[in-house]
Structure 1
């Protein structure tokens, strides 16, 4: 059964019915999978029950053994690793673009076809003003990729409502348990720009993070070359001490005319005429006292290393080509098992190329199938 599902993903089938038809029309492949071709092959419902009831830890151990084999051959390592997630749509009519159901993307409108899926949102990029986004019911597949070879190291399936950054440290810890990620360079997009990820990678794994800054709706005030902001009246503001707040250090800037008795605010700011001794507007700037804010993201070193993260996007494209962009099963266990089968099949292609020494690319399934 495991071999049959690997065949399913190598052929790019998204439905179990396609696998059943393929095996019945290619009895030699069914024989290589281990089935008795003198007897009727398993039905659709047999494959469906297998997916739903099979222990996922067995598939995880198979994928782990593949990664360790490739690591022993020097194909994969953890020098540059990237983490990204890809949406997996559930098998429900509410994901149909031609469906005109009212309020089909409300969190309390749980699809009856799949009680495990959750509501998520998929955007075209991580820009703050990104308007190209879409809601969907389904799951996410989080994949840790070796950014040099473009092969997966670890994967995790969650529901679509789980934020990417919330599972990043768990994925790194699980990978480190069988393949050390010490002194790694961790690459990710803005969705993983969280302070605890920087500190965990630096303190526990002695590595570094290459992650763009997510400004989180922060404003960009006009600054002088010395770093002092400019008030609404066009005057340079003065430093007025620092203080700590919620684990961060902030620099306070005040109005340069606040202590003057006879001055008048050029823009007539409302805070200047409040009758208080310390009058005028104030601004605050967070000082870069942590790893997240101390990274020079305009340097050539950062840009050169961050360009390696495109391997995550390339691998996600190969993952979707196995038929995993849209699910046709109706529970989380089956979805997680199918996702792992897809990763196992892509790793199996690389293992086949290395074992046979064919000299072909271990990223191209069609090329390997052609020479088999």
Structure 2
């Protein structure tokens, strides 16, 4: 079935409806056929690794973020805080490379739900590149794929450009002045105080503007570090800036945002694929789940080929629309 899908993709490539100019990578969850994924199952330990489903020995515990930017408020006894909206599930993931213009799949594979997307991107792109050239491609992906190694692989191995959303990974960005100086807790602009150069980043040091002052009243917030009894008093802060390809990308530029907006084609394709009832597995091992997932992609590619060859190229992404033309 993998070979059938490759044949279909190459057929669409010859017809001029799939190319490698803009490709989008994404993964969608596939829930295993187990009662532990049922919302009506009230077992307290249903998402514990020690309580593995007996009905499917291959599935793994995964987490699905409902939206990359969606946040919900969680109330506890101490304070109110914001947290990402997510859910745990037992199952698998289907990873898909799409043509971001036509919205059609190029390649796919199924993994268990515990596999992290960030660690599999280079292998996935290499495997696809062995039979469908990705050289010079603009590779688009969400922040789940953001890493230096992924960026460097796209730039150096594929000779392409990466359009991957930045993942701040919980790092807090300090308040800065218009000139890039850190603003301290007392509201003062800290002074630059030298740099440290490393292999892949530069570390900029900032110091208190009154570090050599002998006046104890100058610090607006009376910070404890201002009274450290040393020759150089006050706070010291650092900002690290990378020097690699990933750090050189301007994520706020119009060019980046325009290309990155094409990633919505992956979301649209995943939505069409889920309508084939592939979001929930009805078989109970990874080989069977992988086969059913591949069959789903074959069905959607078949629809596209049938639409093109019947003279209805505007219906390549709509099975119901193609049926109405018959």
Q: What's the TM-score once normalised by structure 1's chain length? A: 0.80
- Whichever of the two has the greater Rg, that structure is 1
Which of 126, 150, 156 is matched with 2:103 structurally? 150
Distance in 2 between residues matched to 1:94 and 1:244, nearest whole Å:
51
Alignment pair present for 1:83 and 2:83 = no
Is the CA contact (8 Å cut-off) linking 2:200 and 2:243 kept in structure 1?
no
Q: 2:308 pairs with 328, 338, 354, which one?
A: 354
RMSD: 1.7
Alignment of 1:1-372 (within 5 A): 59-127=1-69, 129=71, 131-244=84-197, 247-264=200-217, 265-371=219-325
1:175-211 per-residue CA deviation (whole Å, 9 max, x = no partner) reads 1111111111111111111111111111111211112
Mapped contact 1:128–1:216 kept (Cα < 8 A): no
Cα displacement string for residues 43-68 of structure 1 (whole angstroms, at most 9, x for unaligned residues)? xxxxxxxxxxxxxxxx2121111111
Q: How far is 1:360 from its partner? A: 4.9
Indicate how the Cα distance of structure 1 residues 144 and 359 shifts in structure 2: closer, same or farther if over 3 A, else same. closer
SS of residue matched to 1:308:
helix
Counterpart contact for 1:187–1:211, Cα < 8 Å: yes
Give the secondary structure class of the aligned counterpart of 1:368: helix
Query: Would the aligned equivalents of 2:70 and 2:85 in 1 still touch at CA under 8 Å?
Result: no
Runs of 5+ unmatched residues, structure 1? 1-58
Residue 300 (structure 1) shift: 1.7
Deviates more, 1:63-72 or 1:246-255: 246-255
CA distance in 1, matches of 2:120, 2:271: 22
Unmatched 5+ residue regions in structure 2? 72-82
How far the C-alpha of 1:260 sits from its partner, in A, is 2.2
In structure 1, what is the Cα distance between the partners aligned to 2:321 and 2:210?
73
Question: 1-side partners of 2:70 and 2:311: how far apart?
Answer: 47
In structure 2, the CA distance between the partners of 1:297 and 1:359, relative to structure 1 (3 Å rule), is closer
Q: Is the 8 A contact 2:200 2:242 kept in 1?
A: no
Question: Residue 307 of structure 1: CA displacement?
Answer: 1.3
CA distance in structure 2 between the aligned counterparts of 1:260 and 1:309, rounded to whole angstroms: 54
CA contact (8 A) 2:29 2:113 kept: yes
Partners of 1:282 and 1:127 in 2: CA distance? 32
The SS at the match of 1:350 is: helix
1:145-176 CA deviation, whole Å, 9 max, x = no partner?
00000000010111111111111111111111
Counterparts in 2 of 1:106 and 1:169: CA distance versus 1, 3 Å: same
Aligned-residue offset at 1:358? 4.1
Residue by residue over 1:97-155, the C-alpha shift from the partner in whole angstroms, topping out at 9 and shown as x without a partner, is 00111210112211111111111111121238453211110000010000000000010
Aligned residues: 314
Q: Which has the higher helix share?
A: 1
Q: How far apart, CA to CA, are the structure 1 residues paired with 2:21 and 2:12?
A: 14
CA distance change for structure 1 residues 359 and 302 in 2, over 3 Å: closer, same or farther? closer
Structure 2 distance, partners of 1:369, 1:175, is 32
Helix, strand or coil for the counterpart of 2:315?
A: coil
Superposed CA offset, 1:236-280 (max 9, x none): 111122224684221111112122233542212112222233332
* TM-score normalised by structure 2 residue count: 0.91
Distance 1:198 1:118 in 2: 28
* Residue 302 of structure 1, CA deviation: 1.6
List per-residue Cα deviations over 1:340-369 (Å, max 9, x = no partner).
Answer: 111111111112222333445111122334
- Which 10-residue stretch deviates more, 318-327 or 276-285? 276-285
User: Aligned to 2:230, what secondary structure does the other structure show?
Assistant: coil
